[in-house]
Amino acid sequence: MSEKNRKTIVVGVTGSIAAYKAADLVSRLVRESYEVHVIMTKSASKLVTEATFFTLSRNPVITSFWELPEWRPGHISLAEKAALLVVAPCTANFIGKLANGIADDALSTYALSHSGKILLAPAMNTAMWKNPAVMRNCEILNERGVLLAGPGKGRLACGTEGEGRMLDPEKIIVEIARLVKK
């Protein structure tokens, strides 16, 4: 893998209130000299805007593969150059899609075509995180080599305290650096 490819990261942003932390993550990655491409789910775009990530990453934000100007399918061309896919925040919904091979939006389609390493930063309510279905989906992903960063413990958006909080961006960056051997 070339130096350029080694430092290319795709950040997937899903529909958790922690999506605002993804903006900080992308900004920090760019400052660390990574080339960052963002893929957002429709739900994520209800919480943060494409313009935010376009400005921070300096790359077009993908929300659909139907509107790309290139002749090559977007998920294939990006998958060929990215060293790592980081989904932060990562919802229970996305974990379930990835574990079960469901490709019904740009991010889940990209994730299935990505042949490099995948790092998920879960963010959800404690009850959701501890649900046996989510736990089993995480086991399936772990068996496939997908890595988890978190979740952490603390105050959640719903007002409760517990496990399910997305890790702070600086902790996720430590994992990213380890994975791409920066």
Active site residues: 158
What sign results for the dihedral spanned by CA atoms 50, 54, 57, 60? positive
Identify how many contiguous H helices and E strands the chain contains and give both numbers. Answer: 9, 7
54 Cβ neighbours under 8 A, 6+ residues apart: 38, 60, 61
Pairwise CA distance, residues 122 & 151, whole Å: 5
b/e map 14-41, b = 16+ CB within 10 Å: bbbebbebbbbbbbbbbeeebbbbbbbb
d(CA 149, CA 46): 24
Hey, is 18 helix, strand or coil? Answer: coil
Distance of CA 6 to the CA centre of its chain: 17
